[in-house]
């Protein structure tokens, strides 16, 4: 794998609490109670069920699975996945980590893959079938209202999904409800930008031209749990025990040149697109070229391996 050269983007350019303009507009108009929940829910659903989002995840799934394999392995380890377990995977997207989980639990175990987007689940089902998985089923489901009986699962996994819970307390309570006594819920979320070269390299050239709008840390957005201890605090509020949280920097080898990695980042980083698209064409192209140059420092001729910073957390019922 490539050994990255020193990062040239200023790490302080992207504070943890800044994301795209659509989210900032939503936060600026926040109200209390049900209206706030409805607003955030609509924002998340619109972003992640759009046809363009589904098309991008279908297109990049095979390479995305390679890029995020270390992230999936960290999630599996945190959840303590073993043969014979019944596992619920939330925000399964186009099939990972559910496909990996189905192989690990084996014929005596079972995986239920869920997502808000029916189109995403259809892709997930196709990918699982192609991978030869027979111990997995698919359900369109909202983490805030899980359609499963109490104590149905030995483990629940959520990879890059918990940041978008519009009512985190409610969603985590539901996850705890469907766990058997002693069962584990495990989460991987985006980490802080001081350890996240992938995001910093991609967005830094844009931000030095115009900062992202400020964003409160407690709303649905990619870096929601980047602050140390924030996810653990939510798990504690939801009644979990034996809570563990750690920040990690993981390899993320994209099996193609940096130009393609940039395009993949743009296509799947749905909350960032309004911000990136707000630049005029010339400025956007200049910033994109700088981002690709940053990625190129991690390219070895085969893989563009730009490290990803994550938060890995778990809690037990």
Give the pLDDT score at 43: 65
User: Consecutive sets of 10 residues in the chain, 317 residues long: mean pLDDT of each?
Assistant: 61 42 40 58 69 85 95 98 99 96 98 94 95 97 97 98 93 99 98 88 94 74 90 98 97 97 92 92 98 98 96 99
pTM: 0.87
Over residues 117-131, the pLDDT tens digits come to 899 999 999 999 999
Contact indicator for 19, 223 with CB cutoff of 8 Å: yes
Q: Is residue 178 classed exposed, middle or buried when 0-12, 13-18 and 19+ CB atoms within 10 A define those classes?
A: buried
Domains and CATH numbers, the chain: 11-316 (3.40.50.150)
Three-class SS of the chain: CCCCCCCCCCHHHCCCCECCHHHHHHHHCCCCHHHHHHHHHHHHHHHHHCHHHHHHHHHHHHHHHHHCHHHHHHHHHHHCCCCCCEEEEECCCCCCCHHHHHHHHCCCCEEEEEECCHHHHHHHHHHHHHCCCCCEEEEECCHHHCCCCCCCEEEEEEECCHHHCCCHHHHHHHHHHHEEEEEEEEEEEECCCCCCHHHHHHHHHHHCCCCCCECCCCCCCCCCCCCCCHHHHHHHHCCCEEEEEEEEEECCEECCCHHHHHHHHHHHCHHHHHHHHCCCHHHHHHHHHHHHHHHHCCECCCCEECCEEEEEEEEEC
Contact indicator for 186, 157 with CB cutoff of 8 Å: yes
Give the pLDDT score at 52: 77
């Amino acid at each position: 794998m490539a050994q990255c050269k020193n990062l040239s983007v200023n790490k302080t350019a992207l504070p943890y609490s800044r994301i795209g303009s659509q989210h900032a507009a939503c936060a600026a108009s926040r109200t209390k109670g049900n209206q706030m929940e409805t607003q955030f829910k609509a924002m998340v659903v619109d972003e992640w069920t759009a046809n363009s989002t589904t098309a991008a995840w279908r297109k990049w799934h095979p390479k995305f699975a390679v890029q995020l394999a270390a992230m999936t392995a960290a999630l599996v380890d945190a959840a303590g996945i073993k043969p014979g377990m019944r596992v619920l995977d939330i925000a399964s997207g186009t099939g990972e980590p559910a496909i990996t989980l189905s192989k690990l639990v084996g014929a005596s175990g079972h995986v239920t893959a869920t997502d808000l987007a029916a189109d995403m689940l259809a892709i997930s089902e196709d990918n699982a079938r192609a991978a030869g998985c027979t111990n997995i089923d698919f359900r369109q489901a909202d983490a805030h209202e899980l359609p499963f009986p109490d104590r149905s699962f030995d483990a629940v996994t959520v990879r890059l999904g918990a940041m978008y819970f519009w009512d985190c307390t409610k969603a985590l309570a539901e996850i705890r409800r469907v766990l058997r006594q002693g069962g584990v819920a495990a989460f991987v979320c985006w980490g802080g930008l001081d350890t996240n070269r992938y995001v910093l390299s991609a967005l830094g050239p844009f931000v030095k031209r115009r900062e992202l709008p400020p964003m409160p840390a407690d709303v649905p957005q990619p870096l929601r749990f980047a602050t140390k201890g924030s996810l653990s605090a939510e798990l504690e509020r939801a009644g979990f025990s034996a809570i563990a949280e750690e920040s990690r920097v993981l390899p993320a080898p994209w099996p193609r040149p940096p130009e393609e990695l940039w395009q993949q980042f743009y296509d799947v980083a749905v909350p960032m697109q309004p911000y990136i698209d707000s630049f005029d064409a010339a400025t956007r192209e200049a910033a994109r070229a700088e981002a690709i140059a940053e990625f190129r420092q991690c390219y070895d001729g085969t893989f563009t391996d730009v490290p990803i910073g994550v938060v890995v957390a778990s809690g037990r019922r």
